[in-house]
Structure 1
Amino acid sequence: MSQINASSKTPIDVLPRHMEFPYAQMQTKDFFDNNCLKSAYMAAMSATFPAGEGEFIESVRMFRDQVQDKELKQQIKGFIGQEAHHSLQHKRFNEALRDKGYDAVRLEEVFEKDLEWSIKGRKDKERLGFTVCVEHMTAVLAYDFLTKPERMDGMDPSIKPLMLWHAVEELE
């Protein structure tokens, strides 16, 4: 297997994009294809994002000071900014979901406690490994959303931009 040297690295710009989405315009509780199962699935998934994104940030911060490469340091800064904004936007989405009848805010709290329990006593490297694994799975889902846009057919127009924005940033 050949070695990759620093000069052959492809730079990746990880840029936080500060977005706002019109959650208040969500028309119905069943915002995804007028289907309660699809909508509940998306609501439950969104409920995991605030705590999950927070854990990703913390696991990367534990190693940030050990990084010497300027480019990688900049990517870490961008990653942290992206994850923080994803968390904020999903918190806002979860509040809108609660107002429509999905108690995503309560699910957020339950997931946060479960996540705290699951990382308790874990080594820093294990937490970072978890982040890498979940980020990879999220990138696979994001790629699927972006290459098969029909997967979002029927999604309320106030929610679809959130999912597309988040998918684009996950691929970075």
Structure 2
Amino acid sequence: MTGALFRTEDTSSMDSTEIFSFGAGPVRSGVGGALTGPQNVDPRQQLLAHRYLIHESAAWSERLQRWFFLPRRASHERYEEAADERRATNLLLSCPADFGSVAVRRAGPLDPTHGFSSFKFVPDTDDQVVLALKSEEVGGRIAAYITAFTLDGRVLMPEAKIGDVKFEGLEFI
């Protein structure tokens, strides 16, 4: 099992609450999670009760002083493994270090089976250009794709198939 444990203490909305996030939860893939301890549930949280984002790629831009996320999958519905194969995103999320706000953009056209698995900022572009890998896993079939786009979502290199393999990492050397 892989994952993380977050513990909050002495906050205005939760008292000593632990949030578990892990990959081997009550479903065979995706994410599982649990909250323990006393909680005051904000009505806005109820709006998200059966929605999810699955992230495999995130990066901090020192130059822009922002976090960037390319979620692999997203849904407004409860997680179901078979349906999840067709819930890929073309979302580009960014936020400042304090996570005080989140900007949402679309990066290229949406293919519901091609989800982001990794990305890096292209060197010497002032962190304005992204090279991204996408993975497809449908019915036991796998494939990898590559694309490039700007932070405003303009496609510089349309998605191209690499092969019937799965790549989950990307580095410039």
Shorter-chain TM range is under 0.3
Greater relative contact order structure (CA < 8 Å, 6+ sep): 1
Richer in strand (by share): 2
Richer in helix (by share): 1
Question: Given the two structures, how large is their TM-score scaled by the length of structure 2?
Answer: 0.22
Question: Given the two structures, how large is their TM-score scaled by the length of structure 1?
Answer: 0.22
